[in-house]
Amino acid sequence: MAWSYEDRRIIDSTGGGRGCVFNYGVELSNGDLLFSGIIRSGLDFATSQRESWIVKTDSNGCLTPGCQDTFQILVASKEAPGYREPDIFGLLPNPFSDRLVLGTLLGYVVPPGDYAAAVYDLQGRVVHAPRRIDPDLLTGFDMAAQPAGMYVVQVLRDGAPVQALKALKE
């Protein structure tokens, strides 16, 4: 027995526009069931944030053996190893000459938080100290006085690094 996205899709869109989408299910050789899918944060599939999930049950559909007809709830407690947030910021132009601009890529939802950005050269020296930014607006960095070379723009959310971008000054 196997289900796929093309055969069957279960969507639960109750509660504030979050949706749970069942993508795939398979019965293992011992009768256990393995399911995977995504949870999305909004109704617009193209721009909503998505988190993947995978669930294994026994042959009766129980998360814990012997659940019989009891109702079970699964809550994710930690991120999967190797998880990293998607890159939502970009630099333009790249390469650049005098001014470097940081902006949010189109189609991405910016997670809430206090954002800051800083610019470093490849030796780790601060070119522009971290400063608060509005992720919904473009942020410019005056780089006219800097020599040609590679620079790194680090984006922070609530004080923690979320993305590092490289840019080349010609």
The per-residue pLDDT for range 74-98, each reduced to its tens digit, is 554 445 555 566 788 999 999 999 9
Condensed to tens digits (0 to 9), the pLDDT of residues 34-71 reads 777 666 555 555 555 666 667 777 777 676 666 666 55
What is this structure's pTM?
0.53
Residue 160 clears pLDDT 70, i.e. is over it: yes
- Do 53 and 9 lie in a common domain? yes
What pLDDT score does 77 carry? 46
C-beta separation of 92 from 167 below 8 A: no
Mean pLDDT of the chain: 75
Residue 21 clears pLDDT 60, i.e. is over it: no
Distance CA 54, CA 56 (A): 7
- Do 68 and 4 lie in a common domain? yes
Which residue did the predictor score with more confidence, 165 or 83?
Answer: 165
Structural domains of the chain, count: 2
Give the contacts of 103 (CB within 8 A, at least 6 positions apart).
89, 90, 91, 92, 137, 138, 139
- Do 93 and 78 lie in a common domain? no
Torsion of CA 119, 124, 126, 129, to 10 degrees: 60
Q: What average pLDDT does this structure show over 119-131?
A: 93
Which residue did the predictor score with more confidence, 49 or 109?
Answer: 109
Query: 158: domain CATH number?
Result: 2.60.40.3080
